[in-house]
Structures are given as C-alpha cells and as structure tokens.
Structure 1
C-alpha cells in the first residue's frame, strides 16, 4: 500500500501521535509541579513558593502525594495534544496548499484547533484538576467522574467552558511563535548548508518550546487562574468588601458563582491582608499569584513536549509506514496470512 506522506491526514496523524507521546512524558515528569501549581492557584493567602508547597505536600501526604492525579493528568494531556495537533497540523497542511500561512492565519488556525480540542477534552481537564486536591486521595479517574456526576451533575464537567474557549488563544499564540521561530532557524540552517536537510536539535526544540509557552502563559495567566479556581470548586470572593460579594445565580447543586469581573477583582486581594490597604500595583501582582509555579510547570512541560515530539516524530512516521506495509500489499490488497490475496471459503 502506498502511503502519501504529503496527505493532510497522514501529516496530522504523525504530528498528533508524536505530540501525545511528548505530552505524556512531560506530564509524568512534572506532576509534582502541577499539583503545587493547582494548590497555589486556588489559595488566597500564605506562601506561594513552588518549592515550599512541594515540601509541604510531601510532608503531609508523602512523596506519592506529589503524583496525586498523575494518571488523570497524563490521560488529559495526551488526549488534548493528540486532538490539538491532529486538528492544527491537518488544517495547516490543507490551507497552505491554497494560501500563504501568515502569522494571522496561523493564529486563527491555532485558535480553531484549540476550540475543537477544548470541546472534546474538557471533561478530562475538570476531572484531573479535582484529582489534585486534598479530598481526592485514593480516588481514581472513574471514581472522580462518578463523584462529580452524582454530587454536582454532568454540567460540572464543562465548568469554565467560556474561559477555556477564550483561553484557546494561549496555544494559538504559543504555536504561532514556535512555528515562526522554527521556520526562521531552519531557513538559516538551510542557507548555510544548502545540501543538508535542516532539523532542530533537542536543545533548540526545548528552548523554543519554553520561550513560546512563557509568552503565552504571561499574556493569559489571570484567566488561567480563574478557570482553575472554578474547576476546583473554589470560587474567589471577598466577604469583607460588599462590592465583591457573590452576586449572580446558582448553578448545579447550589454552588454559587460570581460574575467574571467580581471574581477577577476578588482574586486581586489576599485574605490575610487588609483590603483597604492594598494598592493598585499590589492588586495587579496578586492576580498573578502562582505565576512562578505556572511558568515553571508550563514552560518545562512545553519544552519537554516539543523536544520529545521532535525526536520521536520520525520514529512515529516510520512505525505507521511499516505497519501499513505489514498489513497491505503494494496493490492495496489486505494481507491475511495463508489466505492473503485469495477469496475466503464461503
């Protein structure tokens, strides 16, 4: 069977499989930072140091507590990256045949891919977020799913959907920056050595992935933190200030939700500090509470993801080709062992 390596479907499958593999490796390696990041993001006071939080979790729950929800997170990130890269690279392969892939076009394609990925995989994200909290010890992925559906309703699996749709600009920014920088570097390599096919080294892929994710994270962080609070069921409010009290409707089983503006304002205050004494700068900085752990986790995860993805991409492509060649003849006939190419007895 002939495999068209330039087909959009084949390109998308290779990129998606390599991306999923990279995501799983990165998630498993960085789960302690992910757990610490989630705990810090839903807190409203105290130490927000990543390493201090990791030490505290290890002291309270043991070393295994740092990998709380690891299976759910690896499943989530593997599925999310498979869906994202399949949609993104498939659309890229199709669109570039008809028009130039400008920065704006790539941003749009990245955003569309992000929306598609969100709609498919958001329940996994909600489950994995809740599995990183204190009350999730000993509960597996299916157990957490059952608890959410029974106690809060199926709709809870899409908690923060609006914020996730808005945050699809994050991977769009990240992949646009990454693709443009990668294109520039590979172009420079090709000009220096015209006869050699250019390829990024593992270190270059690691560095580019980290830089692109850092920019995207800083731009979108307040929304990321708000979404994490909602998915964890920790609605940010300030009871001491009337204008910041919970204001809108009740969703699900009596869980009160504030309007977006009120919740973002509430996140700009610390519960262990006097509200009236907080300056505008202090409130702005507080919106980025936990950004250090988020940057550490997201940039390292993205860097590892792209490094692994770039290194295994060729292997994945080769595996698919060999698998297809093992099951099909060059004529396109399916190989069936001793009956290969013969009609089966009726």
Structure 2
C-alpha cells in the first residue's frame, strides 16, 4: 500500500474527512435554527418567524426558560451530517479525481457526479436523517439517537427509516447544484488570484470559502425547497391537508403495522393551503408562497451551515492531509510494507 497525494482514494479520504469535520461543527452551532426550521416546515398555519419559533421552543411547559430545548436532537443531527458529508465528499471527490484523468470536468459532468454521489449518500445515511428529524419534535424529549431508532423500528418497522426515499433521490440534485456552482466559482477565483500573483500558489481565505459556500447553497435551496419541505413533513409524520378536507395522515398504520402514503401530487397540492384559512379565499399566488413556508429559516440555516462547513473544511484540509501522511509514514515503508517493529518486513510466525 503506497500513499500518494495524486491517488484518487487519498484525495477522496482527505476531502471526506475535512467535509465531515466541517459538517459536525456547523451542525452543532446551528442546531437551534435547525430545530426551529423543522417545526415551521411541519406547521400549516400561524407564525413562521424563525426568532419567534426559537423563543417558543426555549420556553418550557410552565413558561420557564429552557435554552437546552433548542439543542434537541443535536447528537443525532451532528452524527447524521458528519456521516452524510463524509460519504458524499468521498464518493464525489473520488469520482471527480478519476474522471479528471480521462476527460475535462465540465459543468454537466460535475452535475452528474454530484447527483450520483448524492444518491449513494442518501441510500447509506437516510435512516440517520429520519431519526434526527423525529428527535427534533416535542414527543422526542428524553430519547437519544438509539432510543428513537428503537421506537421507530418497534412502532413502524424498518421501512419507516426510508420514509420519503423518492423525494430524497429527487433532492440529490440539491448538493449537485451546490457543489457545481461552488467548484466553478472557486476555480474562477483561484485563476484570477493566480494571474495577479503567478509566483504564489493561490488558496481561498476563510471569508472567501464562507461566502462562496453560502451563495451556492442559497441557489440550491431556493430551487429545491418545496420538495425539501414535503420530505420533512413525510418524515415527521404530519399531513399537509386543506382545512376544508377531513384530515388524513401522510402515514397511517394498518393492521400489519405497514405504512400507507398519499400520492405525491395530492401532498404538494395540500401543502399549498394554509389550514388556518378557508381554501376558497386563498389565491394561486398565496398558495405558491405557502409552498415556501419556512424558506427564510431554511435559507438562514442551510446557507450558514454550508458557509461554516466549507470555511472549516478549507482550513482543516491541509492539517488532515498532513496527519494522514504522517500516519502512513509511521506504519508503512516506501515499498508499501507494513512496519512491525523488530519484525518489520519479515513474515510473522505461524
């Protein structure tokens, strides 16, 4: 085993580790906004202010101040985002490094690679996403990640861990758009910096990485938000229904414990209505705006999280790469043989 900086596997490992570190940091810092965003997305009426929702969550049943409520499900969300970003960057950067050896990485190619990486990541990590979403609801107090997982398996079965899989597969275009925009902007900025000072290897500053990450995520979020909100409703088990219609749960238990789902078109149509107003007085424009209910909190959370992720990722990337090289030097010879102290290079006794 010979470690090389040019190896696609090594590039993928460094990028995945740096991405996971950035994701965990960003997730913990922004968990209060994440909890508020989830509550707003699954509501179908009333105030959708992020600050007001956060204040409401921070108040306990008796009105006492309980700020730790804003970090409900933080462990699950940090684990989810760390695992998701490790898987995503490993697949994406690994394929990207391989493709660059044979062809130019055009915008179309990067979009395809980003989508494929998103699908792979979704299939691996979706159960963590479902668990972390449910951990942010009121009835999850006192339950940890494994406690919620056990509850889902006991009550709804293994299939519930993949609730909204079709929407997640469609939403894989979100990170594809985000990373394509980010890569193109980053390449253009680095080329400009190189032209200004050819003698210095250009690198993004923390502020530049923060800004590019925020902009790329904002574009991807606005494009895909209605599907994001619908997926959250599915995973939380809430039903977006017009006020004039009898409430029907998105997921209902049958005698065998299996789950049934309403059709996607009906869900999207239902989600466009506010339940605290009569359907007949809601205009088409108002219904369109309702599809973006909670978009402000989603933009705040997703753009800041993406910005923090890429800022941390770019700053720790060199350190992680250096760590892996030192580890390789400690355990492997240049020939690829494993170092085993006095037995190094010799066959072990059978």
- Bin the TM-score by the shorter chain: over 0.9
Query: How far 1:246 moved relative to its partner?
Result: 7.4
Calculate the aligned-residue CA RMSD, in Å. Answer: 1.9
Distance in 1 separating the partners of 2:251 and 2:307: 40
Distance 1:57 1:245 in 2: 27
**Equivalent runs, 1:212-227 vs 2, <5 Å:** 212-227=216-231
Does residue 33 in structure 1 map to residue 33 in structure 2?
yes
Matched, 1:301 2:305: yes
For 1:60-101, what per-residue CA distance to the aligned partner results, in whole angstroms no more than 9, with x for missing partners?
271111110000000000000000000000000011111111
What is the TM-score of this pair, normalised by structure 2? Answer: 0.94
Q: From 165, 171, 179, give the equivalent of 1:161.
A: 165
Structure 2 CA distance for partners of 1:224 and 1:109, relative to 1, 3 Å:
same
The equivalent position to 2:124 in structure 1, one of 95, 120, 123, is 120
Equivalent in the alignment of 2:286 = 282
Q: How does 1:235-274 map to 2 (within 5 A)?
A: 235-238=239-242, 240-241=244-245, 253=257, 255-274=259-278
TM-score if structure 1 supplies the norm length? 0.96
2:167 pairs with 1:198: no
Question: After the TM superposition, which residues 92-171 of structure 1 pair with which residues of structure 2 at under 5 Å, given as runs?
Answer: 92-171=96-175
| Aligned counterpart, 1:174 | 178
Distance in 2 (alpha carbons) for counterparts of 1:344 and 1:271: 72
In structure 2, runs of 5+ residues without a counterpart are none
Q: What residue number does 1:46 align with?
A: 46
Residue pair 2:251, 2:259 contacting (<8 A) in 1 also: no
Name 2:236's counterpart in structure 1: 232
Secondary structure of the corresponding residue to residue 30 of structure 2: helix
Contact 1:238–1:245, Cα closer than 8 Å, also in 2: no
Task: Give the gaps of 5 or more residues in structure 1.
Answer: none
User: Is residue 313 from structure 1 mapped to residue 317 from structure 2 by the alignment?
Assistant: yes
Preserved CA contact (<8 Å) 2:239 2:250: no
Q: How many residue pairs get matched?
A: 345
Deviations 1:238-285 (A, max 9, x none): 25148x977999777365522111111111111111211001111111
The answer to whether the 8 A contact 2:130-2:161 is kept is yes
2:326 paired with 1:322: yes
Partner of 1:206, secondary structure, is helix
Query: Contact 2:243–2:276 at 8 Å: present in 1 too?
Result: no
Contact (CA 8 Å) 2:241, 2:275: kept in 1 or not?
no
Q: Report if aligned partners of 2:107, 2:180 keep a CA contact under 8 Å in 1.
A: yes
SS at match of 1:60: coil
Inter-CA distance 246–304: structure 2 relative to 1 (3 Å threshold): closer
Per-residue CA deviation, residues 194-248 of structure 1 (Å, 9 max, x unaligned), is 1110000000000000000000000000000000000001121225148x97799
Report the CA distance between 1:2 and its aligned residue: 4.7
Question: Residue 267 of structure 1 contacts residue 287 of structure 1 at CA under 8 Å; is this kept in 2?
Answer: yes
Kindly indicate whether the alpha-carbon contact (under 8 Å) linking 2:338 and 2:345 is maintained by their aligned counterparts in 1.
yes
Q: Deviations over 1:10-33 (max 9, x none)?
A: 000000000000000000100000
Q: Is the 8 A contact 1:247 1:259 kept in 2?
A: no
Query: For the residues of structure 2 that align with 1:325 and 1:63, how far apart are their CA atoms?
Result: 46
SS at match of 1:213: helix
* 8 Å CA contact retained: 2:237, 2:250: no
User: 1:235 touches 1:257 (CA, 8 Å); kept in 2?
Assistant: no
Aligned to 2:93: 89
In 2, Cα distance between equivalents of 1:34 and 1:293: 8
